[in-house]
Amino acid sequence: MAILITGGAGYIGSHVALALLDTGHDVVIADNLSTGLASLVPARATLERADIRDRDRMAQIMRKNGVDTVIHCAGSTVVPDSVRDPLAYYDNNVGGTLGLLHAMQSAGVRRILFSSTAAVYAINGSDPIPESAPLAPASPYGASKLMAERIIQDMAAAGLMDYMILRSISMWPAPIRRAVRASPPRAPRI
C-alpha cells in the first residue's frame, strides 16, 4: 500500500516524502504546484499534479495508487496574506481539507496525519507553547487550520477515520537534505 502526501512538492511535504522513501514506503505526492516545486519531489515518488479540492481526481489518485494513508501537508501558510485575503485561506485550507476528506471516503481511505500549526494557539508569550494552551488563533491562517482540525476530529468521532494532528512551529530552511532548493518563507508563520 502507498502513502499519499498532499503538498508533497513543498518544504515540509518533500522532506516527509524523503523520510518515508528511505524507510521503504511507496509514496504518492499530490500537489497543484501553485507554491511547491516539482524539483523537490524525490525521484522515487510518484507525482500527481492535482488540487485537493478536486474530490473526483483525488479519489481516482488514491484508488489508482493503492493509497491507505494520507499525510495532509497542502495548504496556504503565509499569515500576512491570510489577513489580506482571508477567503482565499478558508477556501484552500478548509475547502481543500473537505475535498480531501470526501475523496478519502469515496476511495475507502481511513487514516490521515494532518500537518497543522502552532498558530492555532492563543498568543500568550509562553515559550515553549504547551499543548494545553488555549486555542484562539490570531489570524485567518490559524483559524483555517483549526477549522480543518475540527472537521477531521468530527469525522473520527463519527467512526469514519483514524487521525493524528501535528502542530508544528514555524518551519525555516535548516540543514535538512535538499533544503536549499526550497524557497524560504516570505513571512513568519505565526
Question: Do residues 58 and 52 make contact, with C-beta atoms less than 8 angstroms apart?
Answer: yes
Each residue of 148-178: pLDDT tens digit?
999 999 999 999 999 999 998 866 555 444 4
**Which residues, 6+ apart, have CB-to-CB distance to 60 below 8 Å?**
none
User: Is 137 part of any domain?
Assistant: yes
Supply the residues annotated as catalytic: 141
CATH value at residue 18: 3.40.50.720
* Residue 32 vs residues 15, 47, 121: alpha-carbon distances, Å: 17, 10, 29
Give me the residues of the chain with pLDDT under 50, please: 175-190
User: Is 187 part of any domain?
Assistant: no
Pick the closest to residue 31 from 63, 56, 61 (CA basis).
61
Each residue of 101-125: pLDDT tens digit?
999 999 999 999 999 999 999 987 7
Pick the closest to residue 6 from 158, 45, 137, 125 (CA basis).
45
Which domain, by its residues, includes 49?
2-181
Domain count across the chain: 1
User: Is 150 part of any domain?
Assistant: yes
User: Is 146 part of any domain?
Assistant: yes
CB count in 10 Å sphere of residue 159: 8
pTM across the whole model: 0.88
User: Is 71 part of any domain?
Assistant: yes
